[in-house]
């Protein structure tokens, strides 16, 4: 949804705007690289889904042995960021990961990349994310977790065409709730 900027196109449709196709801006995912930060159970499933979209997944996780990777292992986080057309974060919130994604990390990302965080809101410096999007360095972001959670209705993350924010519902299915 973030790469294709689905919410902004849906909004233009609802508003009755004309020439929706030419106004649409999106990123192709086929043939692109997905960088996974953390390679837990969920990240492994995301890697398989990305393959279905024609993406190549690479991963960074300094806590796993080399033989735990089913995709290319990258041992330097900034190198992974510089190679990835999209980055998906799968980390716990710890003292070491708090605000791991700050202005320096966003600057290390490939220009035009898409950033996705479904891990924990505190892993991201939200002001730095907004700056990276405002500057045009990042194309879009998809976030399912924020700090605080939920965000207040007036928060700037909620009112942008280049961010998809969901209220921590990625696992909110009947099956997910039972698990």
* Catalytic position from the list 5, 90, 105, 120: 120
- In the beta sheet, which residues pair with residue 163? 141
For residue 143, report the phi and psi dihedrals to the nearest 5 degrees.
-135, 130
Structure token digits, residue 15:
């508003």
Report the b/e string of 72-101 with b at 16+ CB within 10 A: ebbeebeebbebbbbbbbbbebeeebeebb
Report d(CA 59, CA 158) in Å as an integer: 29
Q: Using only the alpha carbons of the chain, give its radius of gyration.
A: 16
Please name which of 127, 138, 128 lies closest in space to residue 162, comparing C-alpha atoms: 138
* Catalytic position from the list 12, 73, 98, 168: 168
* Catalytic position from the list 127, 149, 155, 159: 149
Residue 168: active-site member: yes
Residue 120: active-site member: yes
For residue 30, report the phi and psi dihedrals to the nearest 5 degrees.
-60, 130
Which positions are catalytic?
Answer: 120, 149, 168
């Amino acid at each position: 949804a973030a790469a294709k900027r689905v919410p902004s196109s849906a909004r233009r449709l609802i508003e009755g705007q004309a020439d929706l196709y030419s106004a649409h801006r999106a990123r192709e995912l086929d043939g692109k690289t997905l960088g996974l930060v953390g390679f837990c159970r969920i990240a492994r499933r995301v890697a398989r889904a990305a393959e279905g979209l024609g993406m190549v997944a690479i991963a960074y996780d300094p806590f796993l042995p080399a033989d735990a990777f089913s995709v290319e292992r990258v041992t330097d986080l900034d190198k992974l960021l510089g190679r990835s057309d999209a980055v998906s974060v799968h980390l716990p919130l710890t003292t070491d990961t708090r605000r791991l994604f700050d202005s320096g990390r966003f600057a290390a990302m490939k220009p035009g990349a898409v950033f996705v965080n479904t891990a924990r809101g505190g892993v991201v410096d939200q002001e730095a994310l907004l700056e990276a999007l405002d500057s045009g360095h990042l194309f879009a972001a998809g976030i399912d977790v924020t700090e605080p959670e939920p965000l207040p209705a007036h928060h700037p993350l909620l009112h942008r065409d280049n961010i998809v924010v969901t209220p921590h519902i990625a696992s909110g299915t009947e099956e997910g709730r039972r698990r």
